[in-house]
Amino acid sequence: MGNAAYLALEDGTVFAGQSFGALAERCGEVVFNTSMTGYQEILMDPSYKGQIVTMTTPHIGNYGVNWEDVESRRIQVEGFIVRELPRLESNWRSREKLEDFLKSAGLPGIEGIDTRALVRKLRTQGAMKGVLSALDCDPRSLVKKAIESPGLVGVDLVQHVTTENPYNWTEEDVWDPGHTPVEQEREFIVAYDFGIKYNILRCLRNRGFRIRVVPANTSAEDVLAMNPDGVFLSNGPGDPEPLTTPIENIRKIIGRKPIFGICLGHQLLGLAVHGKTFKLKFGHRGGNQPVKDLRSGKVEITSQNHGFCVDVDSIKQGNVALTHVNLNDQTVEGMECPDDRWFSVQYHPEASPGPHDARYLFDRFAQMLREDNA
């Protein structure tokens, strides 16, 4: 049994449980993820910067942590909430216990709370500011800290997760069902790092792309000077509207190079064409989100992690079309503008973790670049 730990929400609710990971205290937006597996990838997803993540699956940690499913340089979440942490992990790839993984990163976890009650509250009232602490045992003090903690709206979190220096990516995907890696290098792309996941880069590399990853605020002029065949806009954390420099750079690139955007990159494209975004009540986070492709009529089960959404009706510029919708709430999941040679999706086709239904989008990007070069 671990030390006592507490989760306090800004509405005054306090949950008591046991600590695992580091004896620490962190504040953040409390959200939930419905994935049954893939907790390591979730912990290391830069899109979770600034958030305390609740897992809805009761047992989390039973297959440990390995060195293959790494999605970024470090754990990105602010804290981790589970119903029960198994004391034994069992998997041939396991190299470390989940508890030790969090402890080495100095991040707190809490187990033994009623995660069903917490998730029902978040679904009913929306994502909330909160504090997870294994240090402060005073509920009133913790609630006060939660209320006074900064929210995510209007905050630039990308500066905390983007690369400091440009680099080339050469690692290939270890497993991509239904796709044979391209042996010969083909098109050259520049990938903006707003909090990019490694498996996105692996999927792009598997299509034969030569990839140059650049920091989030790299100027459009510098990118165009590299003369790429295309530009990729990555996922990332938080509110897209404060990212005025990336929005302006994307605006300068539109129409000059083919573009593919994912998640935050999708939202930034929407803002670059003078659309608007809004905050969802509790967001979409998990590996089981149904999305309909309006062009083919097919439904994809997708991996998602976002709390903001594009208002496609606010876009008045150009021939921008809605391509995908979320079947749970009818929100925007994809857009395209054939005239300016760009398309984007709100979800994560690299599927780490999650289903592989949407990996065809990387092939679509490759086909777009080949046609553009023909």
Q: In the numeric block, which tokens belong to residue 370?
A: 């080949």
Neighbours of 337 (CB within 10 A): 20
Q: Do the beta carbons of residue 77 and residue 51 sit within 8 Å?
A: yes
Count helices and strands (H / E) in the chain.
9, 17
Rounded Cα distance between 62 and 258, Å, is 43
Going by their DSSP bridges, the two strands 188-193 and 210-215 should be labelled as parallel
Residue type, 202: R
Rounded Cα distance between 118 and 69, Å, is 28
Q: 28-52 burial string, b = 16+ CB within 10 Å, else e?
A: bbbbbbbbbebbbbbbbbbbbbbbb
Q: Which CA distances in Å does 115 have to 84, 119, 125?
A: 10, 6, 15
DSSP state of 160: G
- Sort 371 into a burial class: Cβ within 10 Å, 0-12 / 13-18 / 19+: exposed
Rounded Cα distance between 88 and 90, Å, is 7
DSSP state of 12: S
Q: What DSSP assignment string belongs to 287-353? A: EEEEEEETTT--EEEEEEEEEEEEEGGG--SSS-EEEEEETTT--EEEEEEGGGTEEEESS-TT-SS
Q: First vs last Cα of the chain: how many Å apart? A: 64
DSSP state of 303: E
Neighbours of 164 (CB within 10 A): 7
When computed from its CA atoms, the radius of gyration of the chain, rounded to whole angstroms, is: 20
Residue type, 81: I
- Sort 286 into a burial class: Cβ within 10 Å, 0-12 / 13-18 / 19+: buried
Q: Which residues are catalytic?
A: 263, 348, 350
